[in-house]
Amino acid sequence: MLSAIAIVPSAPVLVPEVAGAAAELARRDPDAAAAILPTDGRRTVRALEVVELTGRPFAASAPRIGAPRWDTAIVGLDCDTDVLDERLARRTDAMFDRGLLGEVEGLLRAGLRDGVTASRALGYAQVIAAIDAGGGPERIREAREQTYVGTRRYVRRQRSWFRRDHRVQWLDARDAELVDAAVRAWRHVP
């Protein structure tokens, strides 16, 4: 980790006790409640876990953006949105063309639905929904499109998140001298 971060363990026993989690969070940590959408149950429950386990506000466990630890350079690869969208479309097509449907079917037989996180992963969640809706070609085509749209949305959120970090040195992903530029950034050479 480039930033010091307090790792607060999960407390699954708290989750069943939380009815009206958004209201409870608003009562116990109003700043966290204001920053988290009331419909975001996962983040709301996590914030309540942190408050319960640490006795401190949720934000207190967030990493502080300061100088990175060790001798590091934080480099972000930037790419024109249209180019990135095309790459995402090709990647999504490749996932489906190389057997995502069969992979999910096999994982379902092995208990994928029993997991908390994997069944909600981009691609898996959309294919599971398509299978549950009958699994015909039209449903799989819809799953492919939903996977692309969901991945594109996720990438936009990641870009927005990392752009707030003033330590990131953005480099053009298509630059022929990309490796040299990254080394210069690490060595603090303009």
Name the more confident of 19 and 36: 36
Are the C-beta atoms of residues 26 and 33 closer than 8 Å to each other? yes
Q: For tokens 């998140």, name the residue.
A: 161
* Residue range(s) defining the domain that contains residue 122: 80-166
In our burial notation (b when 16+ CB lie closer than 10 A, e otherwise), range 71-87 reads: eebbbeebeeeeebeee
Number of domains in the chain: 2
Same domain, 102 and 140: yes
pLDDT of residue 61: 65
| Strand residues in the chain grouped as ranges (E) | 74-78, 168-172
Same domain, 48 and 95: no
* pLDDT band (50, 70, 90) for residue 66: confident
Task: State the Cα–Cα distance between residues 136 and 66, nearest whole angstrom.
Answer: 51
The answer to the question of residue 130 being in a domain is: yes
